Every structure is written in C-alpha cells, then in structure tokens.
C-alpha cells in the first residue's frame, strides 16, 4: 500500500512538472503533453496490477525517477519500469554456432522464422527467431573469408537481414531497401575485410524493425583474425568466451509478447530481463578468466553493467575491434546495439561472495554467477592488443557532415526531417574519411540519450564535447550514445559503395523516422 501511495504521489508530481514545463508552448507541445499524461496513467495502472509480483522493484524505481530521471530531464522516457531480479534458477542458454552448408566454402543459410518458445516453464510463447524459434545462432567469420549467405524469409510479413557493424556493400547490408516478401530469399556475397569483433544481425524493414526485434529476431556475428587467435584471451566458446544478449520484454497475462500493447513510441521498455532468451539465468563458470561479449539487444533500455561486489573487470573490445590496451572499469554503460567485450577474472574474486552482474541503472540482478572450483584454462589479457590510431591529419579535418538529433515519442527527427526512402541526405566518397558532427539538441524537457548508429562502417570517436573520449571508447565503434546537448565528432570512412542508413538505435525512434541515408559512391 505504501508503494501505491508513493507511486500516485510521484505520478502527480510528474504531471505537475510536465504541465509547468510546457506552459506557454504551442499546440504541438500541448498535444505531446496530453499524450504524456495518458502514458503516465497507463503506467500507473500497469504498475498497480503488477505491484504484488514486483517485490522490492517498485521502491527503488520510484527513487530512480526522483534523483536520476528528473535530474537528467528524462521525463518522457519511461525508465520507471525496473527489471525483475534474476532468481538464477535456469542455466544460461548459449546460442548454437551455425555450421557452413559445405566444407569448402563459408556458406550459411539464415531463415527468419516464426515459432513457439518455452520461456516460462510449461508455457509456450509465440516468438520469432533465425533458424529456430527465438533469437539466432552465432555466425562465425574469419577475416579474409569469402562469405555467402542465403537468406530466407519464412515469416508472413516482410523482413530484411541486416548485418549490424559489418563493412559490406549497400546491396548486401540489408537495410529497408532490401526488403524480402514472405517466402522470398536472396543470396548475398561479401569478403570479410575488417578485424576481429563481435557484431550482430537483425531485421530492418521500414517501420517494423522494433516489433520484429522485440519478437526475437537477433543473432550474433563473431569475426576472428590472426590477432584475435594469437592474443591468448579466453576463447573457448560457451566455457570462458560467453555471448550475452541482453533484452527486456513485457509478457502479458498469457505470457505472450504483445508488442502493440507493450509499445512505447519513445522506446519500448519491459520489466522482464532475458539473457540469450533465458529467463532467470545464472552462469556457471570455472575459477578462471572469463570473457563476456556483451550486446545490448534491447529496443530502448540502457544498461550499466557492474559486479554486485563492486569489483572491477577489464574491457578488451568495443563494437568493432580490440582496444589497444585493456581498460579497467567498475562499470560500463551500453545503449541499444552497442557491444563491449569484458574479461572477469573469477580466480581473483572472493568465492565466498555471491557474485552477480547487475544493472546499475535500477539495481536489478541480471546474471548471478556460480563459480566452480575447477581452475579452467590458462588464458591471459595481453597489455597490447591492437594498433588503433587516429592520425593528426584526421584530427584536423573540418566537419563536413552535421547531424542534429531531436525530439521524442513520434516527433523525432534528424536535421529536422523524418526518414524518406526516396531522399538521400548525404553523399560521401568511398574510401574517403569525413568528420561527422553529431549533436543531440535538447527539448523543453531536457531530452534523452539517443544511440546513434551508421551502417556499413566502423568509425572513430574524435571528441565528445571537445574532449578526448574516455579510454574505453578509443577503438572502433558503429554506435555511440549521445547525451542531451552533447556534441560528438566522429571520423567515418566507408570501404564499399551503396546507400546506407544512419539512425537512432532506439528502435521505436528509428521506426518513427529518426533515420537518414548516406549514399557512398
Ligand atoms: Cu542495428 Cu540500422 O541497425
Ligand atoms: Cu546497423
Ligand atoms: Cu532516439
């Protein structure tokens, strides 16, 4: 009961604040304003119904809104919903590794399918998946491979197959222009020219990306090269090299994913955490160094990963490759679609502690660890891992592309415009480095973080608000978080030709038109 009162108090405070922040503004703001009030009350109803089952979640979510969301002005962003804590009753599922169709070549067949998945014991949830009912297998490439992928759309709606982070031609990229009708397929071919990294793939049909990803379409891509094979990092897949796809969902009373009911124009956020599609996961590890390949595969939620004990870990890779040297961190924030590879040395941690990976954003327990007394592999974290650099020349290039991110809900724009498949926003020459300046323009309510992504290229962060980026961002990136009022300069070079998307990776923002196109020729 106390919780309910707190919540109602908080909602009225929120409404009052929204009203006062919006007084004197024009009609469209008034419209947004009433939308928001409606959202708030919807939220309240939902939370009321769920408050019994949410255990302690409610109290700290209310607190979070007080001191964090309001301070940052994230009034519109419903981060009120905390994630459930993982009970650790299920061993984490590890995605299978896709086999090549024949031994002489790298040929993969990837099917987008509908299916049913037992996420909750004894209940079948309708889901989407690649080559299975939920999520997808890992596609492994080696640098230099000539890869063929046969894609097949077995859904009863259009889809595309987008290789997020992969440097391929616009034709192979799987953006909204590469839409496949139900029953259609395509053979795409490319050579892997980029370095070892953890990328991913997901659908990209215009206006439907968020729903299809939400329903389960997402898989990982691992690229390996001579460097990654010789570093001595933990690399036994599923043992000490663990992929972790973090997603949050809302399940209805029938334990179904009802996207249209859960949908929020500003980014759909759920209360149920799934890792690799596993509910209440735990991970059993040996007493050794373990590499975690983290992917924020959520539609909109940001995660700040941290060990519950406060112990540090080291980050070894960004979105598109290894850092030059390992960076020791106590926590790392990933916005939607960002990846990071981190190594936790369980042999150095106190086995008496109940260890878990938590989400610092709301204090929820994401992944409890069970550390066995087996010593495991002898892996290492070398002091030198890569030769990433930014030349003086690139540092001094003038800004030649400006991107202004603005808005919220369905009023999101890039440079004041919404996506138009017929409009090319920028052109750039193949192989030529240009500096893009990304600015997140605040609105009356402060604004929110937009994760900005460019297709077909790995880029370098030159500066954040004129300062050198943090050490753990001095590596290849394809998605960056941009805070309200922040300006980020990046150096972008495309290796291939074609039309590529750039967009906010809050999937509802993308679907609402926060996307543009660059033509590389
Ligand atoms: Cu993850 Cu347009 O991409
Ligand atoms: Cu992409
Ligand atoms: Cu956005």
Q: Which atom of ligand 1 is nearest to the CA of 162?
A: 3
pLDDT, mean over the chain: 88
Q: Is the pLDDT of residue 446 over 90?
A: yes
Give the pLDDT of residue 79: 52
pLDDT digits (tens, 9 = 90+) for 197-216: 999 999 999 999 999 999 99
Count, in order, helices (H) and strands (E) of the chain.
9, 31
Give distance in angstroms: CA of 431 to centre of ligand 2.
19
264-313 residue pLDDT tens: 999 999 999 999 999 999 999 999 999 999 999 999 999 999 999 999 99
pLDDT at 5: 38
Q: Residue 416 — left, alpha, or beta (φ > 0 → left; ψ -120 to 50 → alpha)?
A: left
Q: What are phi and psi of 44, to 5 degrees?
A: -65, -45
Note the pLDDT of residue 221: 98
What is the pLDDT at residue 452? Answer: 99
- Give CA–CA dist 221/216, Å, rounded: 16
Residue 165 Cα: closest atom of ligand 1: 1
pLDDT above 90: percentage of residues in the chain:
82
Using 50, 70 and 90 to split pLDDT, how confident is the model at 91? very high
pLDDT at position 15 over 60: no
Q: What per-residue confidence (pLDDT) applies to 18?
A: 42
Instruction: Give me ligand 3 centre to Cα 219, in Å.
Output: 22
* Ligand 3 center–CA 383 separation, angstroms: 36
Is the confidence at residue 8, as pLDDT, over 80?
A: no
Ligand 1, residue 455: give the atom nearest the CA.
2
| Measured distance CA(44)–CA(53) in Å, rounded | 15
Identify the band that residue 21 occupies on the pLDDT scale cut at 50, 70 and 90. Answer: very low
What pLDDT is stored for residue 52 in this prediction? Answer: 38
Does residue 13 surpass a pLDDT of 70? no
Three-state secondary structure call for residue 216: coil
With cut-offs at 50, 70 and 90, classify the pLDDT of residue 17: very low
pLDDT of amino acid 80: 57
* Sheet strand arrangement including 162-164: 139-142, 219-224, 197-202, 162-164
Judged by its nearest atom, the ligand closest to the C-alpha of residue 413 is 3
CA 164 to centroid of ligand 1, rounded, Å: 5
**pLDDT for the residue 153:** 98
pLDDT for residue 6: 40
Per-residue pLDDT reduced to its tens digit, 126-144: 999 999 999 999 999 999 9
The Cα angle at residue 210 between residues 206 and 213, in degrees rounded to 5 = 110
Return the DSSP state at 438: E
Task: Map residue 19 onto helix, strand or coil.
Answer: helix
Tell me the H-state helices in 190-292.
209-214, 226-230, 259-262
Q: What is the CA(481)–ligand 3 centre distance, in A?
A: 10
Task: Give the integer Cα–Cα distance in Å for 128 and 209.
Answer: 12
Q: Which residue has the higher pLDDT, 46 or 492?
A: 492
In the predicted model, what is the mean pLDDT of residues 455-474?
A: 98
Q: What is the pLDDT of residue 352?
A: 77
Residues with CB under 6 A from ligand 1: 162, 164, 202, 204, 337, 453, 455, 501, 503, 505
Percent of the chain clearing pLDDT 70 (strictly above): 85
Q: Specify the pTM.
A: 0.86
Rounded-to-integer distance, Cα 163 and Cα 160, Å:
10
| Mean pLDDT, residues 516-521 taken together | 98
Q: Give the ligand 1 atom nearest the CA of 479.
A: 1
Q: Which of 53-62, 74-83, 180-189 has the lowest mean pLDDT?
A: 53-62
Pick 373 or 122 by higher pLDDT.
Answer: 122
């Amino acid at each position: 009961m106390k919780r309910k009162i707190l919540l109602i108090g908080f909602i009225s405070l929120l409404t009052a604040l929204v009203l006062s922040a919006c007084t004197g503004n024009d009609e469209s703001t008034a419209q947004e304003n009433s939308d928001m009030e409606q959202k708030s009350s919807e939220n309240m109803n939902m939370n009321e119904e769920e408050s019994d089952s949410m255990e302690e979640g409610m109290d700290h979510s209310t607190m979070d809104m007080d001191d964090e969301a309001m301070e940052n002005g994230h009034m519109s962003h419903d981060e009120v919903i905390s994630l459930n804590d993982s009970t650790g009753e299920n061993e984490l599922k590890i995605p299978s590794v896709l086999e090549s169709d024949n031994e002489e070549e790298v040929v993969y067949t990837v099917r987008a399918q509908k299916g049913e998945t037992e996420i909750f014991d004894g209940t079948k949830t309708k889901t989407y998946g690649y080559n299975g009912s939920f999520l997808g297998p890992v596609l492994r490439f080696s640098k230099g491979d000539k890869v063929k992928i046969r894609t097949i759309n077995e859904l009863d709606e259009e889809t595309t197959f987008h290789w997020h982070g992969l440097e391929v031609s616009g034709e192979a990229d799987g953006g909204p222009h590469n839409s496949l009708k139900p029953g259609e397929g395509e053979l795409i071919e490319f050579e892997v020219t980029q370095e070892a990294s953890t990328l991913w793939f997901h659908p990209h049909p215009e206006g439907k990306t968020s729903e299809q990803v939400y329903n389960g379409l997402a898989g990982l891509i691992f690229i390996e090269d001579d460097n990654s094979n010789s570093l001595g990092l933990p690399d036994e897949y599923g043992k000490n090299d663990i992929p972790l796809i973090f997603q949050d969902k809302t399940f209805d009373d029938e334990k179904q994913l009802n996207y249209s009911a859960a949908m929020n124009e500003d980014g759909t956020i759920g209360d149920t955490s799934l890792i690799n599609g596993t509910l209440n996961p735990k991970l059993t590890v040996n007493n050794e160094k373990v590499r975690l390949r983290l992917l924020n595969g959520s539609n909109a939620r940001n995660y700040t990963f941290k060990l519950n004990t406060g112990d540090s870990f080291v980050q070894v890779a960004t979105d598109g490759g290894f850092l030059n040297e390992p960076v020791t961190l106590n926590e790392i924030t990933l916005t939607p679609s960002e990846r990071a590879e981190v190594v936790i040395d369980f042999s150095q941690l106190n086995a008496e502690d109940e260890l878990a990976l938590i989400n610092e954003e709301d204090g929820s327990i994401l992944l409890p660890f069970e550390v066995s007394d087996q010593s495991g592999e002898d892996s290492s974290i070398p002091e030198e891992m890569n030769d990433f650099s930014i030349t003086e020349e690139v540092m001094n290039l003038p800004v030649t592309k400006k991107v202004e991110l603005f808005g919220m809900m369905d009023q999101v724009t890039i440079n004041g415009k919404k996506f138009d498949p017929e409009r090319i926003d920028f052109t750039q020459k193949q192989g030529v480095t240009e500096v893009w300046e990304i600015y997140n323009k605040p609105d009356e309510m402060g604004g929110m973080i937009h994760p900005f992504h460019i297709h077909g290229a790995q880029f370098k962060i030159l500066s954040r608000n004129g300062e050198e980026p943090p050490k753990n961002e001095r590596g290849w990136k394809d998605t960056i978080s941009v805070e309200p009022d922040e300006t980020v300069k990046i150096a972008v070079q495309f290796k291939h030709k074609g039309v590529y998307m750039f967009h906010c990776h809050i999937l509802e923002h993308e679907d609402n038109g926060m996307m543009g196109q660059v033509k590389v020729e």
